Amino acid sequence: MKRVINTKPLLVFGTADFADIVTNLIENSLKSEIAAYVLDDNYIEENSLKYNNKPIVRTSDVYRLYPPNEYDITIGFIGTKMFKVRAEKLQLFKNLGYDLPNLIHQTSVISTYQMGYGNIILENCVISYGTNFGNGNIMWPNSSINHHNIVGNYNNISPSVLTSGGVIIGNNCFLGNNSTYKNKVIVADYSFIGAGSYISKNTDKFGVYVPQRTVKLEGKTSFDFK
């Protein structure tokens, strides 16, 4: 996939931990400029009008002060309710005419057929040949989406997720740390997959899947093992 270098200054919606991660990606990996941060009006305090030494602008003012013909925007928060709020914000700014570029860390390897908009892909990720990748996904470090997968929209792909070939991931799914997916399984919309899970069969919409718990071995200490 050809990487498009962002030519417009970027706005970042959000001011918290994930906004800082996105800021680092933009400034240090992509070498792009952040113009301002954006928050909904009711989240702005009068004594807090700057973040990371950049201005904070209200959502109600952003179109007037930072018009979409001059600025792009990215969503710098993860979002609650299985990422429905994140999806709503992406759609809001898309409807206002803003471009939402894909932000891809320079260490990641992307060989996808096609990719939508508004994706954030962090360090050392792989998206292999023949995969279609939708909109608004977050892909955390060291995850690998294998060949001929289909990934929908607004998914959170946690660190070190691994899919086999031909996997279909729906929309608004949470894929937990180190979860693994057998070839050709379907992960239904709004699936919640816990850390360390192995998914060998199709999931159900809204289903929650977790592995058996790790237990402490009673009567043993770490010095009992060589």
Tell me the pLDDT of the chain (226 aa) as tens digits.
545 556 699 999 999 999 999 999 999 999 999 999 999 999 887 667 899 999 999 999 999 999 999 999 999 999 888 999 999 999 999 999 999 999 999 999 999 889 999 999 999 999 999 999 999 999 999 999 999 999 999 999 999 999 999 999 999 999 999 999 999 999 999 999 999 999 999 999 999 999 988 899 999 999 998 7
Cα–Cα dist 90/30, whole Å: 21
**Which residues are paired to 39 by β-bridges?**
58
Helices (H) and strands (E) in the chain, counts: 3, 23
Residues 6+ apart with CB under 8 A from 193: 173, 174, 175, 176, 179, 187, 199, 203, 209
The pTM score is 0.93
Compute the C-alpha angle 73/140/78, nearest 5°: 50
Q: Which long-range contacts (CB under 8 A, 24 or more apart) does 161-170 make?
A: 170/205
Taking the C-alpha atoms of residue 47 and residue 41, their distance in angstroms, rounded to an integer, is 14
Q: Dig out the tokens for 34 from the structure.
A: 């952040």
Euclidean distance between CA atoms 189 and 193, whole angstroms:
11
- Taking the C-alpha atoms of residue 36 and residue 98, their distance in angstroms, rounded to an integer, is 14
Report the 10 Å Cβ neighbour count for 82: 20
The C-alpha angle 145, 148, 149, rounded to 5 degrees, equals: 50
- CA-CA-CA-CA torsion sign (203, 134, 17, 13): negative
Pinpoint the alpha helices (H) of the chain.
17-24, 59-65, 84-95
